[in-house]
């Protein structure tokens, strides 16, 4: 442990870019069939029941499912697709799951400069985590676009958010819309990316 602190004190400017890059990571995951021309996809049919049912009673309700359906429909419509239950180009489905997550208090690093009158000072601080560990639930939402004929997966986007207690219908609707919008920001995929 002493070597780590010695390194941090001697080379703080090397560590700062790594910390900045770690903070820029996104949690939206997208994958898709690269042979599909998504520009040709113009319509969708939306299935209102999730492919899997989470065991958490805050999520496993018809109210939440309907809010997800509304959010997915609004998100796909905003991206130029229209709902067509008779002859769609793709079938949209979703999955919800809740998982327990453990969060430990992280270490911290600080670096600063200061001047006072004619003097200049440099300060470096590193904080080690204590025994502060918390458990919480995280809601994972996956939106799939499937082929109509054989239900082959064409596009998948997933994202997660901490699950809160005491959600009102309005707060739940807003949180689910934000989650779906963040997922669908990645649709349609750009060619060559």
The DSSP code sequence of 138-153 is: EEEEEEEEEETTT--E
Q: What integer pLDDT is reported at residue 130 of this predicted model?
A: 59
Measured CA to CA, the distance from residue 61 to residue 68 in angstroms comes to 11
Q: What integer pLDDT is reported at residue 8 of this predicted model?
A: 44
Q: What integer pLDDT is reported at residue 37 of this predicted model?
A: 94
Q: Which residues pair with 147 in a beta bridge?
A: 90
Q: What integer pLDDT is reported at residue 176 of this predicted model?
A: 93
Measured CA to CA, the distance from residue 116 to residue 125 in angstroms comes to 20
Q: Which residues pair with 157 in a beta bridge?
A: 30, 143
Are the C-beta atoms of 73 and 45 separated by less than 8 Å? no
Q: What integer pLDDT is reported at residue 186 of this predicted model?
A: 86
Tell the burial category of 15 from Cβ atoms under 10 Å away from its Cβ (0-12, 13-18, 19+). Answer: middle
pLDDT along the chain (193 residues), means of 10: 47 43 59 94 89 69 91 96 96 88 68 68 67 76 95 95 85 93 92 60
Q: What integer pLDDT is reported at residue 115 of this predicted model?
A: 66
Measured between its terminal Cα atoms, the distance across the chain in Å is 41
Q: What integer pLDDT is reported at residue 118 of this predicted model?
A: 72
* Phi-psi label, residue 64: left if phi above 0, alpha if psi -120 to 50, beta otherwise: alpha
């Amino acid at each position: 442990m002493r070597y780590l602190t010695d390194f941090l004190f001697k080379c703080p400017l090397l560590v700062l870019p790594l910390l900045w890059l770690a903070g820029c990571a996104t949690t939206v995951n997208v994958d898709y069939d690269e042979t599909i021309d998504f520009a040709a996809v113009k319509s969708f049919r939306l299935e209102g029941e999730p492919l899997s049912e989470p065991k958490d009673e805050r999520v496993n309700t018809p109210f939440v499912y309907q809010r997800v359906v509304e959010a997915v429909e609004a998100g796909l419509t905003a991206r130029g697709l229209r709902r067509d239950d008779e002859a769609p180009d793709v079938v949209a489905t979703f999955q919800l799951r809740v998982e327990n997550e453990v969060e430990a208090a992280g270490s911290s690093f600080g670096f600063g400069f200061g001047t006072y009158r004619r003097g200049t000072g440099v300060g470096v601080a590193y904080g080690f985590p204590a025994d502060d560990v918390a458990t919480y639930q995280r809601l994972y939402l996956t939106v799939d676009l499937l082929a109509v004929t054989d239900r082959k997966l064409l596009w998948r986007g997933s994202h997660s958010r901490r699950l809160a207690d005491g959600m009102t219908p309005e707060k739940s609707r807003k949180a689910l819309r934000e989650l779906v919008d963040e997922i669908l920001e990645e649709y349609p995929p750009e060619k060559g990316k």
